[in-house]
Amino acid sequence: MGAMETTKEQTKQSNTEAQPLSLEALEELVRKQDQTITELTAQVKWYQEQFRLLQQKRYGASSEKTTPVEQQTLVFNETEQLADPQASEPDVEQITYERTKQRKSRGEDFSDLPVETIEYELPEDERHCPSCEGTLHSMKQEVRRELKIVPAQVSVVEHIRHIYTCRSCQDTQGDGPVPIVGAPAPKPVLPKTMVSPSLLAHLMSQKYVNGLPLYRQEQYFKRQGIPISRQNMANWMLAGAEQWLRPLYGRMHELLVDRTVLHGDETVLQVLREDGRSATTTSYMWLYRTGRDDTPIVLYDYQTTRASKHPVRFLKSFKGYLQVDGYAGYHALEPEVTLVGCWAHARRKFDEALKALPAEKQDADVPAKTGLEYCNRLFAIERTIREQSLDTQQRHQYRQEHSRPVLEAFSAWIKQQQQSALPKSAYGQALTYCRNQWPKLQAYLEDGRLEIDNNRAERAIKPFVIGRKNWMFCNTGRGAEASAMIYSVIETAKENGLNPEAYLTWLFEQLPNADLNGPDVLDSFMPWSEMLPDNLRKPTKKVTNAPAK
């Protein structure tokens, strides 16, 4: 009985499935299939874009240069507003001369280097003419110049301090106190160690300027017959940074947040040993620096995360403009801080959208190229400002007359394009980035001290990024903090035109023997101080006349 009921049920179900679908059901099925095809097609296009971008980044040129803006076909409705009837026609030859970097003659310019002169002369008894035996006289001099390298030399310096006492008092005082007087001597940079100011500065410079990890420095010293372990090097640099560079770092921080225009950026860092964190956890090195019209100050700040609380803490008393990229973590600084966007990032989005297209479409008149041309027009205006050497007020006025109309046309174009662009495509993401960042992207029009991009901060953080490729990671959080202080002092010194190794050597010679209480004392050691010795800025010329042997 049960088997017969099962057979009837299967027959009934088979008859139901065999019935043709209604027109409405067929239309719904076609609609769903069309939607699926559209979604899959969009996904395939997205994957193709990502593949082309990866190929470009891996094998293509990294340059983002495009056709000069004068040769582009972008047409603005506000052409009449951009035109300047009073402007004179450019002199083609003069512009070419001014913009062409002059090539130095063979041998380059080494006028700042010490000169060792060796003269080759005939002895008096050999100055006779081979034809008539007459006396020879000097007709001219042939000069050949060479660069001479003196390899690093390491020696041991013994500081012997004489201690004096009074024999007369020893005879008359009995068991009473006897005066003891020591000869004055400079204090060591790190007591009870073999490190000297010059060695400590050299180790820091080799790692943080030249990107030479400690294990390579250890091998170098070993080849010279000098047994210095990398553990000792690390300990010396940690102690030197914490004891002597930290006060300078703190004072530079006070001066930095007292400014009104700053730039900020951040990059990743791996720290192997930190409590409660695995070795693969990502940490961050934050960077803050002064703007174009201010004394250069570059500060690094190590933190374990990319959370917004870190810039809020570091810039607690800062009020003014902060130029950054599009990272949302900086939004916590508002409204006390006005965020200024970066047009280099916006332009890069359109450049990537263009490179993500198939090769046959990259030269076509596509919307991504139009967006790139708008960005190029804005940067062309900034080049004109630099070439004319306009001051702060003139920059502000020039941007109001020339950049603002371009921005208004660009904004209207973006709103129009967003209606048809696929949001997840590279081109759609470029439009979305500009739309979301638009208040910050046009904020540079508010003040002539501001810049169109955040390249100033990116250039300042680049030495750390390049160095990271060599030493890869920091061992401890303490080491990362010390690295931040060392990088800050070195990069600020470089920005102020100092030789970083010479400056560090001078600091480690002077700071142990100075009373560092009070900002006035610290200010005299700052990289921009007028009290710094001249030899920290360029080598001292020394002329030595050495006779030929």
Dihedral sign computed on CA atoms, order 392, 394, 397, 403: negative
Q: What is the pLDDT of residues 99-129, one digit of tens each?
A: 445 554 454 667 777 888 999 888 888 888 8
- Confidence (pTM): 0.77
Instruction: For residue 292, give the nearest of 165, 173, 452, 153 by alpha carbon.
Output: 452
pLDDT for position 1: 47
pLDDT for position 42: 73
Q: What is the pLDDT of residues 247-306, one digit of tens each?
A: 999 999 999 999 999 999 999 988 888 777 888 888 999 999 999 989 999 999 999 999
pLDDT for position 154: 84
DSSP 254-314: HHHHTSSEEEEEEEEEEEEEBTTB-TT-EEEEEEEEE-TTS---EEEEEESS--THHHHHH
Mean pLDDT of 194-200: 93
pLDDT for position 331: 93
How far is Cα 13 from Cα 65, in angstroms, rounded to an integer? Answer: 67
Q: What is the pLDDT of residues 316-342, one digit of tens each?
A: 999 999 999 988 899 999 889 999 999
Are 506 and 536 in contact, with CB atoms under 8 Å apart?
A: yes
Mean pLDDT of 19-40: 80
Mean pLDDT of 519-540: 85
pLDDT exceeds cutoff 80 at 538: no
How far is Cα 382 from Cα 399, in angstroms, rounded to an integer? Answer: 8
Instruction: For residue 188, give the nearest of 246, 249, 240, 245 by alpha carbon.
Output: 240
Q: What percent of the chain has pLDDT over 90?
A: 45
Least confident of 168-182, 378-392, 500-514: 168-182
Grouping H, G, I as helix, E, B as strand and the rest as coil, residue 330 is helix
How far is Cα 462 from Cα 444, in angstroms, rounded to an integer? Answer: 23
How far is Cα 490 from Cα 499, in angstroms, rounded to an integer? Answer: 9
Instruction: For residue 226, give the nearest of 255, 202, 254 by alpha carbon.
Output: 202
Confidence of residue 546 (pLDDT cuts 50, 70, 90): very low
Q: What is the pLDDT of residues 47-88, one digit of tens each?
A: 676 776 676 666 666 656 665 544 444 444 443 344 454 545
pLDDT exceeds cutoff 80 at 244: yes
Residue type, 104: K
Q: What is the pLDDT of residues 483-523, one digit of tens each?
A: 999 999 999 999 999 999 999 999 999 999 998 887 788 99
How far is Cα 510 from Cα 494, in angstroms, rounded to an integer? Answer: 20
Q: Between these two residues, 292 and 359, which has the higher pLDDT value? A: 292
Q: Which residue has the tokens 């979604």?
A: 39
